[in-house]
Amino acid sequence: MIHTSLIKKNTKIKLSNDVDKGSVREIEALLSAVPGLEEQYHVLKLIGYGTFSSVFKAIDLKYHEYDNSSWERGLNSPRYCTRLAVQRTHYVAIKQIYPTQSSHRIIKELKILNELKGKPSVTCAITAFRYQDQVLIVLPYIMHSDFREFYLGYTLADVSIYIRELFQALSSIHELSIIHRDIKPANFCWNPFSRKGSLVDFGLAQWENEFDASCACSKKYIPNNPGFFDKENMESFELLEPNNAYIKKDLRPCKRGERGGTRGFRAPEVLFRCKSQRCAIDVWSAGIILLIFFIKRFPLFQSENDIDAVVELTHFFGRQEMKKCARLHDCSFDDNIPSIPDSRVPWRKLIKIS
């Protein structure tokens, strides 16, 4: 969670009464790790944390000393602006990146956030700074509600507004050839009162040109030979007696590919280790969110690994469809699970069953 070990012995930091009582230890750790931070920002609360970072809500004490037009352009457009916008307290979100995060990913995230300034429905970087091994990114604070608080009661009209805003965000990043790679409800800050949302957390984001075109799918045809696990080819081999061991120094080639993201929202090409991943993987994840609204079950998929995730998708799309998808990415898929249908489940039937 938070690196509370960063608190120095005999170090006392005085916190005001408006600080969240449940976040005192984490805030003390942050202020101890970055001296002078309290002169710039009044940290109020820990609002989220993950494997590589934590996010705090804070007040920008120096807001009026800087030109904020570059990053407020997207937030203060007519679609966001209110009568009280000028009078409001200027909250920000401070993202503390842990030292365990790789430096090239931090640099990439900063470049992407800077490129997104002024784009609608997406967050951007206000500023960033480093002290020793501590890297902080200051972002606009977006008022939002937890997805579980509203998704069950949303009507079809409500869902259409939510999805339209989400695809507005995807349009903003995809026109710059940026793949978010972690589209999920928690990363789309949605305000059910203003019905506006903002896409956040670009820690896993990449540019499309970072991927090569070595995957079979980039050639836009389905290979006849899905690989050395082809069932027809296997018939010519003599199988050894099964055992529970594995090869200590296995020299067989393995397929490597980007697999970042959250379980249940990864596209099939991510699960099959595609080396030519494109912005379409974000659209897939957005489609899963839409399906969650229709089925009214969250989380929808709960697999512990990629193999189980493929099996879960096969129950929806059918055995033949997943075999075709596997061949498209130069992989092979086969199963002996009786409950898996040969063809996909019709969407009307799927939603009606739920």
Task: Quote the DSSP letter at residue 37.
Answer: H
Catalytic status, residue 182: yes
- Single-letter code of the amino acid located at 354: S
Question: For the CA atoms of 203, 205, 207, 210, what is the dihedral angle to 10 degrees?
Answer: 80
Q: Which of 60, 182, 201, 282 is catalytic?
A: 182
Residue 208 main-chain phi, psi, to 5 deg? -60, -35
DSSP code string of 87-151: TS--EEEEEEE-TTS-HHHHHHHHHHHHHTTT-TTB---SEEEEETTEEEEEEE------GGGTG
Residue pair 285/183 in contact (Cβ under 8 Å)? The answer is yes
Burial 107-135 (b: 16+ CB within 10 A, else e): ebbbebbebbbbbbbbbbbbebeeeeebb
SS3 label, residue 41: strand
Task: Quote the DSSP letter at residue 238.
Answer: P
CB burial of residue 215 (10 Å; 0-12, 13-18, 19+): buried
Output the CA–CA distances (angstroms, integers) from residue 52 to 2, 94, 96, 265, 296, in the order listed: 10, 14, 9, 19, 30
Residue pair 114/178 in contact (Cβ under 8 Å)? The answer is no
Tokens coding 179: 């793949």
**CA 351 – CA 295 distance, rounded (Å):** 6
**CA 136 – CA 1 distance, rounded (Å):** 16
**CA 15 – CA 23 distance, rounded (Å):** 11
Residue pair 205/178 in contact (Cβ under 8 Å)? The answer is yes
Catalytic center residues? 182
